[in-house]
Amino acid sequence: MSKPIDLLMDEHKNILLAIDGLLDQAAKDEKTGRISADFYRAGIDFIRNYADRFHHAKEEDILFIELNKDSVKMHCNPTKQMLYEHDLGRQHVKELATGVKENDLAKVLAGARGYGELLKDHIYKEDNILYPLADEALSDGAKDEMLAKFEKIAREYSGANKKYELFLSGLNK
């Protein structure tokens, strides 16, 4: 895979780690009947800022735009479905956040699990279908431009992303 696609796949690994943490916590809270509000708040912050604002913005505002140009030929174009799943993910996170706010365990569990299952499946499809298609379809020039844009975003987010590295390293301890 080319460098910009590799970067996106590395971000998927981080998002999957956070999802594992979220699903583990949901299982524990289901047993105890208590909501670990601080953990979910940190998880929601990670999802909204790292997974959505940072990672999904790179997909939606750069990669998908590139793939929808007339010059790019793919035998199928899953970007519409991927956008739909990003939106669905946002709805699950909203449900989780509402559950935390209202101290409603059923909503917390539904939101956390809904998000976790959706995004695991979504990431699988991107890693195994969309990204390989993109890697084949995009020209070297387009990939170089994409990489430059990704590196610029990474610089803008480097401060914020340090916080999220800490969140990830604190999981499963």
- List Cβ neighbours of 73 (8 Å cut-off, separation of 6 or more): 137
Q: What is the DSSP letter of 46?
A: I
Spell out, one character per residue from 35 to 64, where the chain touches Fe ion: x when CB under 5 A holds, - when not: ------------------------x-----
- Degrees, nearest 5: CA angle 20-102-17: 10
- One character per residue 124-153, x = contact with Fe ion (rule: CB under 5 A): --x---------------------------
Nearer CB in complex with Fe ion: 5/82: 82
Smallest separation, CB 59 to Fe ion (Å)? 5
Using CB under 5 A as the binding criterion, the count of chain residues that bind Fe ion stands at: 3
CA distance 56 to 90: 11
Quickly count: other Cβ atoms within 10 Å of residue 31's Cβ.
7
Q: Which 69-98 positions form the footprint of Fe ion (CB under 5 A)?
A: 82
Question: Residue 7, interface with Fe ion (CB under 5 A)?
Answer: no
Q: Considering the complex, what minimum distance in angstroms separates the CB of residue 83 from Fe ion?
A: 8
3-state secondary structure 48-70: HHHHHHHHHHHHHHHHHHHHCCC
Nearer to Fe ion, 39 or 54 (CB): 54
**Amino acid identity of 56?**
H
Binding residues for Fe ion, rule: CB under 5 A, are 59, 82, 126
